[in-house]
Amino acid sequence: MAEPSSSSSIPLPSGNDEQAISHSSSLDTKDEQVTIVKNLTPQEQEYQRLTDPSQGRIKAAFVTLARNREVHAMRSSMRYLEDRFNHKYNYPWIFLNEEPFSEEFINLTRQMTNAETYYGQVPTEHWSYPDWIDQNLATECRERMASQGIVYGGSESYRHMCRYQSGFFYMHPLLDGLDYYWRVEPGVKFSCDIDYDPFRLMQERDLKYGFTIALQEYLLTIPTLWERTLEFVRDNPQYIYPRTRPDSLYNMITEDDGLSYNLCHFWSNFEIGSIKFLRSEGYQAYFNHLDRAGGFFYERWGDAPVHSIAVALMLSAKEVHWFYDIGYKHDNFEHCPTEPDWLVHGKCYCDPGTSFGKCYSVVQSMFILIDALE
């Protein structure tokens, strides 16, 4: 895979240029003090701002959907992220659960951070069947998918989770007043030091969505998702970013001019996003259209393709960021940056050879496009 573009990673000062992170340094002589001043490039100025914790926090938080039994996996995720990043910034943690959190979960997670922690329950109406769903048909669909050996094909709770992550988590009152969220799942690993503030990067560059890993969805879980999406596009052109513009992301999700979905999606168990975007009229209209179609229950639509298709249809290329420099692992899938210096200087401990992503060529093309537009 080619090296990341400047748009997809944060510029780092070189190991032999310590002045890259300061405006000046001084040399004492017998007769006078001589000040050496270096003019910083725009990238170095941005890096200086993004690595300065004294600027204060952005209106943002980590958001986690977790169950009480996942407390130890959650503590592990927190330990990684606190050590790699949040011990310098103390961004708050928001935990959500369809059931009340146990005292054990609350106490053990609070021990892992100096930041504020908040615990909320998912409203019943966001974790149950809407009136228009035929529950007998939904049961038949689950049984059929389970017999086909589809992962989570027979799971009812997984479908409620995907629907909640697609259309409701960002509406929880605990997220009111925030501009950005960083989704964190139990049992994930962060393998690189994050020496800048990704939330500030999102704000300064006016970004709406950030990711690390891109994969392909299993077609049997979303057989009619693209058809329902095309219905929405046809009926709601006012929400769609013009695909004829050079910075359109439309070709990231289709390679035959819209005849089919290429199944590429951002893996949403890691995402940093704009709450305003998800609460926007356009995104809400898209989710409501999909929700009415019933595919969360009659098929097994995941929140990752839903988020990704919405991003590609409604945002420009410059509003999406590949957090290439954040090493991340979930289950057997991992992203590890390939810069040799990062390993030598201890920024990352992961093996670049383990990086996985079936849609990296599509992602690469997207960021080549972004660079060309700058």
The predicted structure's pLDDT at residue 145:
98
How many beta carbons lie within 10 A of that of residue 11, not counting itself? 17
Q: Which residues contact 268 (CB under 8 A, 6 or more apart)?
A: 165, 183, 211, 302, 303, 304, 307, 308
**Claim to verify: residue 184 and residue 239 sit in the same structural domain:** no
70 is catalytic: no
| Helix ranges (DSSP H) in the chain | 42-50, 71-84, 103-110, 135-147, 156-167, 198-204, 225-235, 250-253, 275-278, 281-293, 295-298, 303-314, 340-344, 360-373
Give the β-pairing of 328-330 and 333-335. Answer: antiparallel
pLDDT single digits (tens) 137-146: 999 999 999 9
Q: Which residues contact 182 (CB under 8 A, 6 or more apart)?
A: 60, 61, 62, 63, 91, 198, 199, 271, 272
Q: Is the pLDDT of residue 19 over 80?
A: no
pLDDT single digits (tens) 255-283: 999 999 999 999 999 999 999 999 999 99
**Claim to verify: residue 188 and residue 314 sit in the same structural domain:** no
CATH of the domain at 319: 3.90.550.10
Domain assignment present for 341: yes
Q: Which domain holds residue 245?
A: 209-374
**Claim to verify: residue 66 and residue 215 sit in the same structural domain:** no
- pLDDT band at residue 297, thresholds of 50, 70 and 90? very high
**Claim to verify: residue 118 and residue 220 sit in the same structural domain:** no
CA of 83: how far to CAs of 111, 227, 309, 350, in Å? 14, 44, 33, 15
In the chain, helix, strand, coil percent, each to 5? 45, 15, 40
Q: Is the pLDDT of residue 179 over 60?
A: yes
What is the arithmetic mean of pLDDT over 358-369? Answer: 67
Better pLDDT: 366 or 220? 220
pLDDT single digits (tens) 73-88: 999 999 999 999 999 9
Domain assignment present for 150: no
One-letter-per-residue 3-state SS of 263-319:
CEEECCCCEEEEHHHHCCHHHHHHHHHHHHHCHHHHCCCCHHHHHHHHHHHHCEHHH
Q: Is the pLDDT of residue 15 over 60?
A: no
Quickly tell me which residue has 């990684």 as its tokens: 80
Is residue 245 within 8 Å of residue 313, measured between CB atoms? no
Q: Is the pLDDT of residue 227 over 50?
A: yes
Q: What total of structural domains would you count in the chain?
A: 2
For residue 258, give both structure tokens: 């819209």
Q: How many residues in total does the chain contain? A: 374
SS3 11: coil
Domain assignment present for 321: yes
**Claim to verify: residue 231 and residue 368 sit in the same structural domain:** yes
Nearest to 39 by CA among 60, 58, 23, 16: 23
Q: Which of 271, 299, 319, 339 is catalytic?
A: 271
**Claim to verify: residue 187 and residue 262 sit in the same structural domain:** no
Strand partners, 330: 333
Q: Where is average pLDDT lowest: 98-102, 280-284, 362-366?
A: 362-366
What is the arithmetic mean of pLDDT over 40-68? Answer: 92
**Claim to verify: residue 220 and residue 365 sit in the same structural domain:** yes
Q: Which amino acid is at 155?
A: S
Domain assignment present for 26: no
Is residue 214 within 8 Å of residue 265, measured between CB atoms? yes
Q: Against a cut of 0.85, is the pTM above it?
A: yes
